[in-house]
Each structure stands twice: as structure tokens, then as C-alpha cells.
């Protein structure tokens, strides 16, 4: 039996504008992983077991959903076929902007490649998984699958064609504490991305200006991360949030959590990912983590994860 994993991710700065080719910063969440085991099967065909959903299907009977598609695409790329059982488990909450779909697809591709005695490069993995991201997201920028495939903090700029996307690892001079608070509201990225698209089509000048503001914030935040100035990173988060609000992707639930976190002493915060629901992230001092976590739960967060960003990454 072969097992491979893939990490989750979180966008620190630049969501939405990244779809319009502005840079964005995202980091892997190495402690949150999707896991895929592949083993030979005595019966013909490929059986896929998604253990957490739970859901189980024969690949031959499955429609073109993302899970079936990544198995088919990977086998085609490997020019391989076999009778197999795939078991999928993931500790990454679904539909939360933590990259669960891309992580599962990445782990599937890695595990199948390993089963057939080979390995994809991160660029090959990112390209394969991008195909399934289109099913989840419509017009994805490609940031999720890229950060997950490379498992590195990346400044990502979308280009056309996607093979020319610009990726630069960015420096985090001092690891810092991040709180990730869930609003409890599932908000498909496809919807908010579609709304921003409609706004941009109606008033391109206004939206382009907002995207440029986000790009300027991303540059400042990247410089603050490189200097290890976490309070400043927090302040740029809050500035980024204000522009996201102007883009129309914030919500009362996000604002409520944001205010609670800031009142409890976070350096700053913002929504992360598509918006409306999903997660609100905060940069904070480790000594304030418990107090801020409690305040966020009291304000209605359904879960709060405290994590370190910028540590050495664990292998996979
Ligand atoms: O919801 P998430 O974390 O998958 O992120 C969506 C990020 C967007 O910029 C809104 C869309 C995209 O494809 O980059």
C-alpha cells in the first residue's frame, strides 16, 4: 500500500485581485493534510472511498466530479491503468478557503504516481490539479493548487497561459501566530468571484483601481513579512479587508468576528479566500492567542485555529 499527503493553504493577502493578475501571498498549512492510500484490488475497476464524506464509488460509474476527474486525469498523464482501491481522508475542513479540494486532488495525484513508481514535479502537479480547481471554482486564479503543490509560502501572479504564472517564494523573517476563525457560513468561492466579475464588467475603472490598491497592500505586506514586523503585517491585513469590503465580498458575520478579534488585541485581520462566509484571519502575539480565541468564539466563530506561519515546513 502507498500513502501520500498534501497540505492545506491560506491566503494572507490579495484574494480576488489575484484573479485579475495582481500578486497575492499564500502560505501552506502543513499541519492540516489530506491523505490518500492506494492499494491493489482483487476485483476489476477502481474503487474510490472518500472516508470523511462518506462516499464510495466505482470510477467507471462516476460522473465528471472533481474526484473522479483527478483520478482519470492522473492515470491518463501516467499512461497507467490497474485495478485499485483509493482511500481518501482529510483533516482540512471543506468549503472553508483552506484548499481542501486542491489538497485532496494533489494527494490523489501524488499517491497514484507513487503507486506506479514515479513522481510528478510540483509544476506538473499544479497543472493537473488546476483542471479540477476549474470544476470547484469556475475561473480559479491557480493560487491554491500552486501553493499546495510547492508547499511553500508563495507570491503568486496569474498569467495567461497558466504555465507562465509567476511564483516567487517570499521570506517570513520571523514565524508569527495566525488565528483562523470560521464564520460558520459556507460560501462557495464561485459565487463571490462571479459577483466581482459582474461588478468589474459594469464598472471596470472602479474595480481596476481597487485591485491596484490591493496590489500595493500586498507589496507593503510582503516587505513587512521580510522584515519580521508582525504588527505592521496585521495593520496591512486590516487595510486589505477595507478594500475587500469595497469589492462587496465582506459580510456582517465577517465584520463581527473582525471587530471581536481586534478588540481582543489582534494586530489586524481580514477575510481570507472568497469572502461572505468562510474564514477571518488575524495576525497576533502568541501571548494573546488564548484571549483572542475566546473572544472570537464568544462572538460566534464556529471554530478557531491557532497556527504558526513561517516555520520550517515538515516533509511529506
Ligand atoms: O476560497 P479560496 O481560499 O479557495 O480562495 C479564493 C481566492 C480567490 O482569489 C477569491 C479566487 C481565486 O481563484 O484566486
Coil vs helix vs strand at 178: strand
Ligand 1 site, residue 8, Cβ cutoff 6 A: no
Whole-prediction pTM: 0.94
- Ligand 1 mean position, distance from CA 59 (Å): 28
CB-based contacts of 115, cutoff 8 Å, min separation 6: 2, 38, 82, 84
* Mean pLDDT of all residues in 237-252: 98
pLDDT in tens, 23-38: 999 999 999 999 999 9
Residue 313 has pLDDT above 60, yes or no: no
Ligand 1 site, residue 11, Cβ cutoff 6 A: yes
- Ligand 1 mean position, distance from CA 189 (Å): 6
Ligand 1 site, residue 189, Cβ cutoff 6 A: yes
- Ligand 1 mean position, distance from CA 97 (Å): 7
* The pLDDT of residue 316: 35
Among 92, 129, 143, 185, the mutation site with the greatest number of ligand 1 atoms within 8 A of its Cβ is: 143
- Ligand 1 mean position, distance from CA 272 (Å): 8
Ligand 1 site, residue 140, Cβ cutoff 6 A: yes
Coil vs helix vs strand at 303: strand
Give the three cell numbers for residue 45: 475497476
* The pLDDT of residue 64: 84
| Cα(276)–Cα(46) distance, integer angstroms | 38
pLDDT in tens, 254-309: 999 999 999 999 999 999 999 999 999 999 999 999 999 999 999 999 999 999 99
Residue 311 has pLDDT above 60, yes or no: yes
Q: Which residue has the cell 470547484?
A: 136
- Ligand 1 mean position, distance from CA 280 (Å): 14
What residue owns the CA closest to ligand 1's atom 13? 140
pLDDT in tens, 194-239: 999 999 999 999 999 999 999 999 999 999 999 999 999 999 999 9
* The pLDDT of residue 188: 85
Q: pLDDT grade, residue 312 (50/70/90)? A: low
pLDDT in tens, 84-114: 999 999 999 887 789 999 999 999 999 999 9
Cβ atoms of residues 84 and 47 within 8 Å: yes
Among 180, 243, 273, the mutation site with the greatest number of ligand 1 atoms within 8 A of its Cβ is: 273
| Cα(23)–Cα(204) distance, integer angstroms | 18
Ligand 1 site, residue 97, Cβ cutoff 6 A: yes
- Ligand 1 mean position, distance from CA 274 (Å): 5
Q: pLDDT grade, residue 315 (50/70/90)? A: very low
Ligand 1 site, residue 19, Cβ cutoff 6 A: yes
- Ligand 1 mean position, distance from CA 174 (Å): 26
Residue 29 is classified by DSSP as E
pLDDT in tens, 51-90: 999 999 999 998 888 899 999 999 999 999 999 999 999 9
Residue 136 has pLDDT above 80, yes or no: no
Amino acid at each position: 500500500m502507498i500513502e501520500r499527503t498534501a497540505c492545506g493553504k491560506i491566503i494572507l493577502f490579495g484574494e480576488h485581485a489575484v484573479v485579475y493578475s495582481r500578486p497575492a501571498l499564500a502560505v501552506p498549512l502543513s499541519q492540516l493534510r489530506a491523505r490518500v492510500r492506494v492499494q491493489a484490488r482483487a476485483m476489476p475497476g477502481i474503487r474510490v472511498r472518500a472516508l470523511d464524506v462518506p462516499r464510495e464509488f466505482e470510477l467507471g460509474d462516476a460522473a465528471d466530479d472533481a474526484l473522479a476527474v483527478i483520478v482519470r486525469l492522473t492515470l491518463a498523464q501516467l499512461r497507467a491503468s490497474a485495478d485499485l482501491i483509493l482511500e481518501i481522508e482529510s483533516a482540512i475542513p471543506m468549503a472553508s478557503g483552506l484548499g481542501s479540494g486542491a489538497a485532496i486532488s494533489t494527494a490523489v495525484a501524488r499517491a497514484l504516481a507513487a503507486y506506479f513508481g514515479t513522481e510528478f514535479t510540483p509544476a506538473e502537479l499544479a497543472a493537473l490539479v488546476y483542471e479540477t480547481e476549474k470544476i470547484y471554482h469556475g475561473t480559479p486564479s491557480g493560487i491554491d493548487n500552486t501553493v499546495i503543490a510547492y508547499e511553500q509560502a508563495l507570491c503568486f501572479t496569474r498569467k495567461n497561459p497558466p504555465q507562465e504564472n509567476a511564483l516567487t517564494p517570499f521570506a517570513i523573517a520571523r514565524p508569527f501566530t495566525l488565528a483562523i476563525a470560521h464564520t460558520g457560513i459556507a460560501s462557495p468561492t464561485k459565487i463571490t468571484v462571479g459577483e466581482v466579475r459582474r461588478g468589474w464588467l459594469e464598472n471596470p475603472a472602479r474595480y481596476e483601481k481597487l485591485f491596484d490598491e490591493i496590489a500595493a497592500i500586498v507589496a507593503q505586506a510582503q516587505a513587512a513579512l521580510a522584515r519580521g514586523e508582525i504588527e505592521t503585517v496585521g495593520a496591512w491585513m486590516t487595510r486589505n479587508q477595507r478594500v475587500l469590503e469595497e469589492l462587496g465580498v465582506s459580510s456582517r458575520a465577517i465584520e463581527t468576528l473582525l471587530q471581536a478579534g481586534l478588540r481582543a488585541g489582534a494586530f489586524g485581520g481580514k477575510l481570507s479566500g472568497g469572502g461572505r462566509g468562510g474564514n477571518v484571519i488575524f495576525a497576533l502575539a502568541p501571548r494573546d492567542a488564548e484571549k483572542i480565541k475566546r473572544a472570537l468564539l464568544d462572538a460566534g466563530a464556529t471554530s478557531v485555529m491557532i497556527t504558526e506561519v513561517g516555520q520550517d515546513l515538515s516533509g511529506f
